[in-house]
Amino acid sequence: MKQSAPKPPEPPPASFDSLGLSEVMMKALESAGYEYPTPVQAGVIPRALAGVDVLGQARTGTGKTASFVIPILEGLQLKSDIHHPQALVMVPTRELAVQVRDEAIKLAAGRKVHCVAVYGGKPIREQIDKLKRGAQIVIGTPGRVLDHLARGTIDFSKLKFVVLDEADRMLDIGFRPDIERILRRCPDDRQTLLLSATVPPAIAKLAERYMRTPETLNFSPADISVDTIEQFYFTVDPQRKFELLLRLLVRERPKQGIIFCRTKRGTEKVFLRLQKKSKDPRIVAAIHGDMNQSARDRVMSAFRAGKIRFLVATDVIGRGIDVSSISHIINYDIPAFCDDYVHRVGRTGRMGREGVAYTFVAPDEGYELTRIEERINRLLKRDEIKDFDPHARERSGLPIGDRPVNLGPKGSDGAAGSGDPAATPPPPPTSLQRRPPKRYRKAL
């Protein structure tokens, strides 16, 4: 099928009222505390309610989940004789499955709707039982959905909606064959909604093959890293990264932050060292793909509840996870892909809040930094910590040593700066001053 020409998103209406939603929906929105639709919601909801297939280009943190959950809820047939799923939402990760399910449950307030998340790492039996009891909305990772299809424990004959959430990520992970297998098992007269941060040719092809004349709505800002996020980099030798991390945390006293590492091993290492250093080890946790699902769920809910302040993570949670109080992102390791940078940094500054991101750059990683700057079309500002020498060879600054440090938020546990090694005389200028890439130099 042919795709229609991209349409500019419609300007947001003054309120949810103008979207023609049901009373029960309006009440659910009110109890969720959603006063105004976000631009993505204002654009997608009316088109989806009109029955059109929509390809929405939107990042996480823009309210995209509700943009497909609301039309699904409004379109469900809540007859007691329909037990089979009417909506299937495919997502790339287990965490996102849980998050979308929770958002759907929240917005389904006042209706008898069952939402079930199906994903790997959890016993399939429990999910089978839940599906048997009847679920109108199923949210799942493609592998587990296929597993249920193969066992005959899920029936898509009554499916009215299919959503591909974070479609670009699903293709990156290699879910394409699974997704296609699933889509071929879905009724032809379904409505398909596809949400993706980017629309590379593979996504366009998928849309062309499995959607009915989709309308493309683009909500991605020209500058993909949102304006409210301040972005800095430090040049540092790899051996000095941990010391830099401690000093940065002491200087910044973040409300909540994620420290991104490239590998699972690296994540564990940084986590253990940080935990050892912290006066209150309970505020530090790690999350990565080697942890079992219930451990990951536990960490995520403690982080969401604000009990954990520092999450050391791999890119497994780099995308899709929404915790609005994250104030700081620290890229302990520069991400391998520019897109991962955008997704990591996008964890902060959610829903227009302020956020700050720091990236540690080893002397031989200047090229990676330049690529990121080109991708986001913006220069990262250089930062440095007082009295901290980023070189491994001579440790001129005061080492933090074995003392536990106060990593509490500003104003907590005595004066900010107690035991603050940053409160020492200014440093000699570092020789790692990096010249901006050529194409920006002209503009400076």
Name the maximum alpha-carbon separation found in the chain.
75
Note whether 300 binds ligand AMP by CB under 6 A: no
Q: In whole angstroms, how close is the CB of 83 to ligand AMP at the nearest point?
A: 28
Note whether 37 binds ligand AMP by CB under 6 A: yes
Note whether 38 binds ligand AMP by CB under 6 A: yes
- Within 38-152, residue ranges assigned H as helices are 39-49, 64-75, 94-107, 124-132, 142-151
Q: In whole angstroms, how close is the CB of 36 to ligand AMP at the nearest point?
A: 6
Note whether 225 binds ligand AMP by CB under 6 A: no
In this structure, what DSSP letter does residue 427 have?
Answer: P
Binding residue for ligand AMP (CB under 6 A) from 60, 127, 314, 370?
A: 60
Note whether 65 binds ligand AMP by CB under 6 A: yes
- Cα separation, 168 vs 217, in Å, equals 15
Binding residue for ligand AMP (CB under 6 A) from 9, 63, 142, 349?
A: 63
Note whether 324 binds ligand AMP by CB under 6 A: yes
Partnered with residue 259 across adjacent β-strands are 312, 330
Let me know how many helices (H) and strands (E) the chain has, helices first: 15, 14
Q: Where are the beta strands (DSSP E) in 91-213?
A: 115-118, 137-140, 161-164, 191-196
Helix (H) or strand (E) holding 212: none
CA 83 from chain centre, in angstroms, equals 32
- Cα separation, 430 vs 266, in Å, equals 26
Q: In whole angstroms, how close is the CB of 16 to ligand AMP at the nearest point?
A: 8
Note whether 119 binds ligand AMP by CB under 6 A: no
Note whether 165 binds ligand AMP by CB under 6 A: no
Q: In whole angstroms, how close is the CB of 40 to ligand AMP at the nearest point?
A: 7
Distances (CA, A) of 350 to 82, 303, 312: 38, 15, 19
Note whether 34 binds ligand AMP by CB under 6 A: yes
Q: In whole angstroms, how close is the CB of 324 to ligand AMP at the nearest point?
A: 6
Note whether 228 binds ligand AMP by CB under 6 A: no
- Cα separation, 406 vs 423, in Å, equals 14
Read off the tokens for 116. 């079930």
Q: Which lies closer to ligand AMP via its Cβ, residue 60 or residue 331?
A: 60
Residue closest to 193 by CA, chosen among 167, 155, 219, 158 = 167
Read off the tokens for 237. 């030798």
Contact 60, 320 (CB under 8 A): yes
- Cα separation, 187 vs 18, in Å, equals 31
Note whether 235 binds ligand AMP by CB under 6 A: no
Binding residue for ligand AMP (CB under 6 A) from 215, 322, 340, 384?
A: 322
Q: Which lies closer to ligand AMP via its Cβ, residue 166 or residue 243?
A: 166
Q: Which lies closer to ligand AMP via its Cβ, residue 301 or residue 418?
A: 301
- Cα separation, 119 vs 140, in Å, equals 5
Q: With CB under 6 A as the contact rule, which of the stretches 37-45, 151-159, 189-197, 201-209 interacts with ligand AMP? A: 37-45
Q: With CB under 6 A as the contact rule, which of the stretches 32-40, 45-53, 272-280, 366-374 interacts with ligand AMP? A: 32-40
Q: With CB under 6 A as the contact rule, which of the stretches 63-71, 182-190, 388-396, 418-426 interacts with ligand AMP? A: 63-71
Q: Which lies closer to ligand AMP via its Cβ, residue 258 or residue 385?
A: 258
Q: With CB under 6 A as the contact rule, which of the stretches 34-42, 254-262, 305-313, 430-438 interacts with ligand AMP? A: 34-42
- Cα separation, 362 vs 225, in Å, equals 22
- Cα separation, 247 vs 400, in Å, equals 8
String of contacts with ligand AMP for each residue 337-376, x by CB under 6 A: --------------x-------------------------
How many residues lie near ligand AMP (CB under 6 A)? 16
Contact 390, 237 (CB under 8 A): yes
Residues that bind ligand AMP (CB under 6 A): 34, 36-38, 41, 60-66, 103, 322, 324, 351
